[in-house]
Structure 1
Amino acid sequence: MSRPELRVDTERFRSNIRAVRDRIAPSALMIVLKDDAYGHGLRWAVEAARGMGVDWYGAYDVRSGVEARRVLGDAGRIFAWATSTDDEVDEALRARIDLGVGSAEYLSRITALAARRGVRARIHLKIDTGLHRNGLLPAEWERTIAEVRAGEAAEHLELVGIWSHLAEASDDEDDEAQTLFLDAVRVAEQSGATPEALHLTASAASWWRPELRGSVSRIGAFCYGVRSADGPDLAGVAPVAELTATVVDIVDGDAVVGIGAFDGIPSTLAGARVGTPAGARELLRIDAATSVVEGWPGMRIGDSVWMFGAGDHGESSATTLAERIDTVGEEILTRLTARIRRVSTP
């Protein structure tokens, strides 16, 4: 039984990056790499983005940032925003990774570790603009900025960014979040230089709300061709990955394919449309190691079935599948197991 494959199209990825950059300019693209580049493969994504001249990489955690640094060498800026252990912070300092800071406690640890190593830690300070996903409260912002400026004077810190997350629940709430964000930037400017990286928006807000963009926009899903759940298709953006499996048996006129729930395919996706050499067919059942697909004329063992992709064979996209089970496209991609071979095309 041949293994299923997640095939990632490098040229389509490059095309998506071009479309995203054109859309958000003059804001700089920070391509997000969390969850192994949304299941596509971090090393592949970094190599392709580097070839496109991308300067900013959002690694989420230090481990991913270090892996990205191995690929980038001395080039590029890497931002890891997950609160990390002292050992991870030390590793980030050695790898010249910018750190996202959302609490006074984390700031103190980073400052102490940078002082011990005799280096400047590059930090992006996070203001809580209402989502309450980490971040300094507005009431503690001015005091914390003073601490950061003191750390800069002692040559332990360098404030290179101010950032936050949007809830994206409504335009009004996002407008209020931007007001809090800009207030935080003004407070920082009163005591020193404006940080180079001001970033508030992720994929959806970066695309649809140009007035909210800062000097940098953090974009992950859209670069990989994963649109927002229940959102419209994006001009110039298409799914980068397609998941294929092989027909391993034919039973009662239907195709048994070599992929199942143990590979990360939710059993609740039964009833979705998948691609075959004869076009779209229904995914009838998902078992542990195999799935059953509605048969087609002339089918043979060894035929390919497209579980999701760009729709070239009648299949659904990862996001369309996700909408069937009330989730987002990246969950379909990131839950795929290591048994699925990752293959990149030029």
Structure 2
Amino acid sequence: MTDLRLATINTGAITHNVETLRALVAPALVMAVVKADGYGHGAIESARAAISGGANWLGIADLTEALALRTAGIDAPLLAWLHQPGAIFGEAVRANVDLGVSNIAQLAEVAAASGTAFVHLKVDTGLHRNGAALSDWHEFFDAAAAHELAGRIRVRGIWSHLANAGAENDAQQIQQFSAAIVMAESVGLRPEFRHLAASEGAIKHPDARFTMVRLGISTYGLAPSDDVDASALGLVPAMTLSAPVVSVKRASAGAGVSYGFDFHCETDTTLALVPVGYGDGIPRHASNRGPVTINGYRGRVAGRVAMDQIVVDMGDAPVAVGDRAVLFGDPSNSVDSSLASGSAMPVPSADEWATAAGTINYEIVTRIGPRVVRRYEP
């Protein structure tokens, strides 16, 4: 039976991407980030592929995600960093999950958990999200040192996050992070793992790599910003999203398509109905713009993206019920088809969909919903 909605995940691409980036950032260690179900790719499978590529650590947002990896038998070093008040830190300690700690109160909660917690102290260097504020650094580090001396915690890391707000701002944050390390060491802390840079910073700023980098979107073969060329770095997109054509109609010039008739056919054209929609994570903002290939021919979404389906304007391209429509994937691949007479067009990229929807590629892949079957291929 053909899958109605299918995300094909190339785990070999994930492994390759980690290997490629690992060589770029060496001697810094690599933490592959698999939060949000591996940016939509599947956390467990992505974690295993990343480890195969040489990832030294795995990063995850919350403890539920972390414990799911442990339940799946993944025993690699693992950091979880986003915690609600009253989180059950003892379970994480027993599962050998390192904990990102962002303030003094949270540090006390972690220290009160049974067992010795391994922690990474987060400092805010300007992003103004999580992390101890500059005015609290002394007290934060002093409290951590006291808890460590008492055997309640072990400080294994210190970390922060770049805002990626331009070279000048990045440089200021790098300087602040270096100052935080010095301050932490002045009270006797000796954090082995010092990590500031995520994908963009790791690629663009060698001086931001310290002893480890956190690789998120780049692990999945996508660029972290518009001024980074993923293909030039040798990265390969890991996800291909496709669905079968379930209806084909010929429409006359001027015919309205989908809700509100926001789209009218410019000429006589072929309309292909594809059963994916915003209920599956296809952005409605890409209405009338989202690119699709069928049999190697390029079309675009005609009319509004609906909950369960899109209509694709295919012009005069030969399209039949049962043909596979590809919304995005690896643009270096073409759909090989005799109908395309050997001149198949590249499949669209997640970046093209991001442009069509006015968003970023992170959102395009991460938002793909649970109705879409994930199939893993090496």
- TM-score (norm. length: structure 2): 0.86
Alignment of 1:108-119 (within 5 A): 108-113=108-113, 117=114, 119=115
Q: Which moved more, 1:293-302 or 1:60-69?
A: 293-302
For residues 13 and 94 of structure 2, the distance between their equivalents in structure 1, rounded to whole angstroms, comes to 34
Tell me what 1:281 maps to.
Answer: 299
Alignment of 1:1-346 (within 5 A): 2-73=3-74, 75-113=75-113, 117=114, 119-234=115-230, 235-252=233-250, 253-269=270-286, 270-285=288-303, 286-295=305-314, 296-311=316-331, 312-313=333-334, 314-346=346-378
Retained in 2: the 8 A contact 1:50–1:72? no
Shift of 1:301: 0.7
Structure 2, unmatched stretches of 5+, are: 251-269, 335-345
Shift of 1:292: 1.2
The amino acid across from 1:319 in the alignment is D
Shift of 1:192: 2.2
Shift of 1:334: 1.8
Give the 3-state SS of the residue equivalent to 1:86 in structure 2: coil
Give the 3-state SS of the residue equivalent to 1:169 in structure 2: coil
Q: Larger relative CO (CA 8 A, sep 6+): 1 or 2?
A: 1
Give the 3-state SS of the residue equivalent to 2:235 in structure 1: coil
The amino acid across from 2:369 in the alignment is T
For residues 87 and 174 of structure 1, the distance between their equivalents in structure 2, rounded to whole angstroms, comes to 32
Shift of 1:231: 2.9
Shift of 1:289: 1.6
- TM-score (norm. length: structure 1): 0.94
Q: Alpha carbons of 1:217 and 1:72: their partners in 2 closer, same or farther (altered >3 Å)? A: farther
Identity of aligned residues (%): 31
Structure 1, unmatched stretches of 5+, are: none
The amino acid across from 2:112 in the alignment is A
The amino acid across from 1:170 in the alignment is G
The amino acid across from 1:284 in the alignment is A
For residues 129 and 193 of structure 1, the distance between their equivalents in structure 2, rounded to whole angstroms, comes to 19
Shift of 1:85: 4.0
For residues 2 and 259 of structure 1, the distance between their equivalents in structure 2, rounded to whole angstroms, comes to 12
Q: Which moved more, 1:5-14 or 1:273-282?
A: 273-282
Shift of 1:297: 3.5
Give the 3-state SS of the residue equivalent to 2:12 in structure 1: helix
Shift of 1:335: 1.6
For residues 288 and 70 of structure 1, the distance between their equivalents in structure 2, rounded to whole angstroms, comes to 34
Shift of 1:72: 4.3
Q: What's the RMSD between the two structures over aligned residues?
A: 1.6
Shift of 1:10: 1.3
Shift of 1:193: 4.7
The amino acid across from 1:95 in the alignment is A
For residues 148 and 263 of structure 1, the distance between their equivalents in structure 2, rounded to whole angstroms, comes to 44
Retained in 1: the 8 A contact 2:30–2:213? yes
The amino acid across from 1:291 in the alignment is I
For residues 184 and 89 of structure 2, the distance between their equivalents in structure 1, rounded to whole angstroms, comes to 24
Q: Which moved more, 1:138-147 or 1:23-32?
A: 138-147
Retained in 2: the 8 A contact 1:322–1:329? yes
For residues 49 and 309 of structure 1, the distance between their equivalents in structure 2, rounded to whole angstroms, comes to 19
For residues 82 and 322 of structure 1, the distance between their equivalents in structure 2, rounded to whole angstroms, comes to 27
Shift of 1:87: 4.2
Give the 3-state SS of the residue equivalent to 2:359 in structure 1: coil
For residues 95 and 49 of structure 2, the distance between their equivalents in structure 1, rounded to whole angstroms, comes to 21
- Per-residue CA distance 1:122-155 (angstroms, 9 max, x = gap): 1111111011112112222122211111111111
For residues 327 and 204 of structure 2, the distance between their equivalents in structure 1, rounded to whole angstroms, comes to 30
For residues 262 and 230 of structure 1, the distance between their equivalents in structure 2, rounded to whole angstroms, comes to 28
